[in-house]
Chain A
Amino acid sequence: MPKPGRILKWLGLVAFFLWTVTPIVFMISASFKGTGDIFKLPPTGDWPGILKLLFWFDASLVQFKSIFEEGTFFSHLLTSILATGLSVIISVPVGLAAAYALSRANIPGKKHLYFWVITTRMAPPIAVMIPLYVLWRGIGALHTLPGLVLAYITFNLPFAIWLLRGFMDSIPRELEEAAYVDGKGRLGAFLEIIFPLIRPGVGATVILCSMFAWNDYLFALILGGRGAKTLPVGIGELASATQIHWGQIMAGGLVMIVPMVVLGLAIRKSLVTGLTMGAMRG
């Protein structure tokens, strides 16, 4: 007879699983249905009927056709890809260089500098939105793609520095020093010895920075505006004062989560290794 604690643990896990997964399952299911079929319910008491409605139905691509052909969904998708990609391409290498310096160099006031970097992530985005809006307007970056990329860098770069510095600190300095003695300069030692060892950590940083930028709504809404409208903002507009296009919202949502899921699955091993790297001493 299993112990009560174990039963409770499993019940909790199942409940958490259902709570997490059910909305996504509903979204996937709804995105392959016609608008009229999305909110169909089975007769009262017919619980198996719910499963049938979720998983056993005539699939249709009408919602996907609608968002890609009739609206500006494709341009929003492209803006999201560009804004996310460019912010990550800039934030991660620059963050890596900064993390290396903070980990290895003898910089006066290094601790205070590092703390300042971390504090930029402590404030909630809404708290800095008005000053950022004024600043972006002043430099002509408002409602532009470059402006949105810059906005994403403001939160991705400190995060990358913070995360990557931890990975750098976990690599013993003697490894670099051995590379110097073996004949490599600083850059060569970093590329051939240090980087391969922190690659999982860099992978984890790329994933997380991509997720933060891809899923952002507030910065894109206020700073991106019409000139750089991303997927989250575009999908949000499908719910207007007069009508809510549930089918298109569900299809758009599915399109939005697929890249992050694929990316996460592709490097999930690195993600786990990277996130637990700092905890182990080699």
Chain B
Amino acid sequence: MAEVLLKNVVKKYGKVEAVKGLNLCCNDKEFLVLLGPSGCGKSSTLRMIAGLESITDGEIFISGKKVNQIHPSKRDIAMVFETYALYPHKTVFENMAYPLRVRKMPKSDIKTRVERAANILEIGSMLERYPRQLSGGQKQRVAIGRAIVRDPKVFLMDEPISHLDAKLKGYMRGELKHLHKELNQTFVYVSHDQTEAMSMADRIAVMNLGELQQLDTPENIFNKPASQFVAGFVGDPPMNFLPCTLVTGAGQWLIEFKQFAIEVPDRVRALVLEKRLQGSGRHEVTLGIRPDNIILKTEQTKSGDLPGEIYITEPLGSYMIVDVKIAGERVKVRSDISFPGRSKDAIFLELDGDHMHLFDAGTSYSLIHSNNGRHSTLSD
């Protein structure tokens, strides 16, 4: 069993609190991605798991053992660094063999393990080269190879493909996911790229400003975001947000946006009643709707259709992004590439009620979806 458990972990750099009371669990053999913008605390968290940063407060457990005071060399972890950290004075073979030599493994076993890892990563022909003779992608594979030769309990990866070009990144995402399946070990992966997280992770821990926003599967992170931050961070193009007023009461609920009113679907009303708001009144909210969940029309066919004006269209090969101005706000809509509209054309937007999100304007937490995932335990 190789689960990683963080209990109320805090990390301070002087007066700056980089990680604030983090509770997180990566289950055995899971591929967990720590996702968030720069400065959110994800790399600090990974480095604390590795033992490369001290823990200000809280506890970290690896395979049930508390590791707060244990040196990185004794935690049975392997790490792939963002800058690869290959030893420049050693060949590829020596780089990969180094952790095994440190453990005084017999030379024949070292050779077997290194060659096996090199074959998996398709770098068998480069074993006598030095890091300066390798491309970025090759260096990254050597760094991964150095990690997998040891057969550790936990693999830690700190944005290992962030410096690769787009095409190679796409290729390596698939390779890393395949590697995880083949090795069947626990992976904790740090990234600021939501595409990487969505495509590779079993679960994603979205972080912001040192706090865990949501811990859930990629599907739920995308479809049931627990906060406006999560909703806006995941998805490309990002979710549209409109400042609105939710009018509740005994009759039909309405979402008022500027001079417009949209009927709240029964599904949304039920979820809001179940999770959050009770009684009648006016509540300041933020309406969230993804570009894929808006239909463009040339004329109004429903009372809730919002009138707007096309600001600009962005053809992107197989689809088009249409930027629409509505009552001073800008909304992006994903449309078919054959969409005929042009700038300044009048247009109507129908918002798909089944994929509408409402966030509290004050706290920015979802009024529809639970954020219980922030407090995930081993059994989650």
A interface, CB within 8 angstroms of B: 172, 174-175, 177-185, 188, 193, 196-197, 282
Question: Which residue of chain A is the closest to B83 with respect to CB atoms?
Answer: A174
Contact A193–B87 (Cβ < 8 Å): yes
Chain A, residue nearest B75 (CB): A181
Given contacts A177-B52, A197-B89, A282-B88, contact A183 B83 (CB under 8 A): no
Give the segment of B95-103, B225-233, B287-295, B331-339 that binds chain A: B95-103
12 contacting pairs across A/B (C-beta < 8 A): A174-B82, A175-B87, A178-B81, A178-B85, A178-B146, A181-B73, A181-B77, A182-B99, A182-B150, A183-B102, A193-B87, A197-B88
Query: Majority SS of interface residues in chain A?
Result: helix
A242 shortest CB reach to chain B, Å: 60
57-84 of chain B: CB within 8 A of chain A: 71-73, 77-79, 81-83
| Interface: B50 (CB within 8 A) | yes
CB-CB nearest in chain A for B158:
A174
Q: Do B81 and A185 touch across chains, with their CB atoms under 8 A apart?
A: no
CB-CB nearest in chain B for A178: B85
Given pairs A175-B85, A184-B73, 10 additional interface contacts (CB within 8 A): A174-B81, A177-B72, A178-B81, A178-B86, A179-B98, A180-B71, A181-B52, A181-B99, A182-B73, A196-B89
Query: Does B51 reach chain A (CB closer than 8 Å)?
Result: yes
Instruction: Give chain A nearest CB distance to B7 CB in angstroms.
Output: 23
The interface residues of chain B lying within 8 Å CB-to-CB of A282 are 88
Closest CB-CB distance, A188 to chain B, in whole Å? 8
Partner of A182, one of B52, B83, B102: B102
Q: Are A184 and B102 in contact (CB under 8 A)?
A: yes
A185 partner residues in chain B, CB cutoff 8 A: 71, 73
A172 near B83 with CB under 8 A, answer yes
Across the interface, do B77 and A182 meet the contact criterion of CB distance under 8 Å? no
Contacts A183-B99, A185-B71 given; indicate if A178 touches B77 (C-beta within 8 A). Answer: no
Query: Closest approach, in angstroms, between the C-beta of B78 and any C-beta of chain A?
Result: 6
**Bound-complex Cα distance A282 to B71 (A):** 27
- Given the complex, which residues of A lie within 8 Å of B146, measured CB to CB? 178, 182
Complex Cα spacing A115 to B72, Å: 33
A221 to B290, CA, bound (A): 83
CB B73 to nearest CB in A, in angstroms, measures: 4
Whether A180 lies near B89 (C-beta < 8 A) is no
Within the assembled complex, what's the spacing in Å between the Cα atoms of A184 and B101? Answer: 10
Which of chain B's residues have a CB closer than 8 A to the CB of A184?
73, 102
Distance between Cα atoms of A181 and B98 in the complex (Å) = 11
Cβ contact within 8 Å between B102 and A180? no
The reply to whether B52 and A183 form a contact with Cβ atoms under 8 Å apart is: no
Chain B residues whose C-beta falls within 8 Å of the C-beta of A183 in the assembled complex: 73, 99, 102-103
Contact of B78 (CB < 8 Å), options: A172, A181, A197: A181
Q: Which residues of B contact A197 (CB under 8 A)?
A: 88-89
CB of B166, distance to nearest CB on chain A (Å): 24
Assembly CA distance A282 to B83 (angstroms): 11
Measured in the bound complex, the distance between the Cα atoms of B75 and A180 in whole Å is 10
Which of these, A180, A188, A196, contacts B52 with CB under 8 Å?
A180
- Residues from chain B with a CB closer than 8 A to the CB of A182 are 73, 98-99, 102, 146, 150
Whether A181 contacts B83 by the Cβ 8 Å rule is: no
Measured CB to CB, the nearest residue on chain B to A193 is B87
Pairs of residues from A and B, 8 with the lowest C-beta to C-beta distance, nearest first: A183-B102, A174-B85, A182-B99, A178-B85, A180-B72, A183-B73, A181-B79, A174-B81
A68 to nearest B CB, angstroms? Answer: 44
Cβ contact within 8 Å between A178 and B51: no
A-contacting residues, B289-329, CB 8 Å: none
Cα–Cα, bound, A185→B89 (Å): 19
**B14 CB, nearest partner CB in chain A, Å:** 10
Assembly CA distance A155 to B89 (angstroms): 32
Q: Which residues of B contact A174 (CB under 8 A)?
A: 81-83, 85
How many angstroms from the CA of A282 to the CA of B132 in the assembled complex? 9
For B85, the chain A residues whose CB sits under 8 A away are 172, 174-175, 177-178
What's the Cα separation between A175 and B50 when bound, in Å? 14
Distance A266 CA – B13 CA, assembled complex (angstroms): 46
Chain B, Cβ-Cβ closest to A186: B71
Chain A residue nearest in CB terms to B54: A106
CB distance from A4 to the nearest CB of B (A): 42
**Shortest beta-carbon distance from A251 to chain B in Å:** 44
Cβ contacts under 8 Å, A179 to chain B: 87, 98
- Contact flag A178-B102 (CB < 8 Å), given A183-B73, A185-B73: no
B71 near A178 (CB under 8 angstroms)?
no
Contact with A along B128-163 (1 / 0, CB 8 A): 000000000000000000100010000000000000
Q: When the two chains form their complex, are residues B79 and A178 in contact, meaning their CB atoms are under 8 A apart?
A: yes
B contact residues around A193 at 8 Å (CB): 87
Which of A177, A184, A196 has the most CB atoms of chain B within a 10 A radius of its CB? A177
